[in-house]
């Protein structure tokens, strides 16, 4: 096919994740056959609209064979990733590494809604039991799957607890990543060696969970205790504990002083 190679990476990610952003994960129906892909996720009509609106997409007038080939190529990527339960990553841009998100990030309104769910302001703590690494920086790619930027390859641990979300979110938020994919990075001025992605686990409450899933689509919202079965067979556990109420603690101390 006479198509720029980057578009073979870009098209499946665009089709899948913009659909998820609009409709939610369940609406994809997790297709494992081409005929099961929802028409408003990927179809020849969608492809023709893209070709019509982007003259740089192909180097000459697309033939019927090219259109068919491109349609099936994108559909097969979607099917293959669903079968393997892997994220369709799309294209990583080094320009995003500086701020850990797109320089023209268009979803700040969603992040602003989550400030009171930061580590500093939320009313709960996350208690963890099991082995995990605590390193890396969240790379926010809304509406595409997020991941963590690392300066060295992760060890055998498959759970990452990222200590730094400040650049991406503007506040600290303890989040976990079950690593499923590791992508080596070319030499870059920021010193990142690899990008890992998979399934994020975000502690939160009913007030914030749906917005988190918009911001980080490859995530599960944790509202209470949880367990993660790691690839090596180990069980990783966590629990959400309510922080003590400051006013109540103060009154308790005052009461004990006068007793």
* pLDDT at residue 60, as a whole number: 59
User: If you average pLDDT over residues 72-78, what whole number do you get?
Assistant: 95
Instruction: Give DSSP secondary structure letters for 142-189.
Output: TTSPPEEEESS---S--EEEESB-HHHHSS---EEEEEEEEEE----T
Cβ–Cβ < 8 Å for 54, 61 = no
Whether the pLDDT of residue 79 is over 70: the answer is: yes
**What pTM, to 2 d.p., does this model score?**
0.89
Cβ–Cβ < 8 Å for 173, 120 = no
Bridge partners, residue 182, by sequence: 196
Cis peptide before 30 (omega within 30 of 0): no
Render pLDDT for 196-213 as a digit per residue (tens, 0 to 9). Answer: 999 999 999 999 999 999
Q: Which residue, among 147, 211, 143, 144, has the nearest Cα to 176 in the 3D structure?
A: 147
CA dist., res. 137 & res. 160, Å (int): 10
pLDDT band, residue 258 (cuts 50/70/90): very low
State what percent of residues in the chain have pLDDT above 90. 74
* pLDDT at residue 55, as a whole number: 58
Distances (CA, A) of 38 to 9, 85, 246: 20, 18, 50
3-state helix, strand, coil in the chain (%, to 5): 35, 20, 40
* pLDDT at residue 151, as a whole number: 95
Render pLDDT for 151-184 as a digit per residue (tens, 0 to 9). Answer: 998 877 799 998 899 999 999 999 999 999 999 9
Render pLDDT for 210-248 as a digit per residue (tens, 0 to 9). Answer: 999 999 999 999 999 899 988 888 899 999 998 886 554
Task: Quote the mean pLDDT of the chain.
Answer: 89
Render pLDDT for 137-156 as a digit per residue (tens, 0 to 9). Answer: 999 999 999 999 999 988 77
């Amino acid at each position: 096919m006479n198509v720029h190679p980057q578009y073979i990476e870009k098209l499946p990610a665009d089709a899948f994740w913009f659909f998820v952003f609009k409709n939610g994960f369940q609406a994809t129906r997790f297709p494992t056959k081409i005929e099961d892909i929802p028409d408003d996720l990927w179809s020849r009509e969608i492809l023709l609209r893209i070709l019509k609106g982007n003259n740089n997409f192909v180097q000459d007038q697309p033939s019927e064979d090219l259109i068919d080939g491109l349609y099936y190529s994108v559909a097969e990527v979607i099917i293959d990733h669903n079968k393997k339960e892997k994220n369709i990553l799309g294209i990583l841009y080094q320009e995003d590494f500086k701020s850990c998100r797109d320089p023209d990030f268009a979803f700040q309104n969603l992040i602003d809604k989550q400030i009171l769910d930061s580590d500093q302001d939320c009313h709960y703590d996350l208690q963890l039991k099991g082995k995990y690494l605590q390193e890396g920086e969240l790379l926010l790619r809304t509406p595409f799957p997020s991941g963590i930027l690392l300066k060295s390859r992760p060890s055998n641990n498959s759970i990452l607890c990222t200590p730094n979300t400040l650049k991406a979110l503007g506040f600290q938020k303890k989040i976990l990543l079950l690593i499923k994919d590791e992508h080596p990075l070319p030499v870059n001025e920021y010193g990142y060696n690899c990008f890992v992605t998979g399934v994020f686990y975000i502690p939160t409450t009913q007030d914030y969970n749906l917005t988190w899933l918009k911001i980080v689509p490859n995530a599960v919202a944790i509202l209470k205790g949880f367990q993660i079965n790691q690839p090596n067979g180990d069980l990783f556990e966590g629990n959400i504990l309510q922080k003590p109420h400051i006013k109540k603690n103060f009154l308790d101390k005052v009461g004990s002083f006068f007793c």
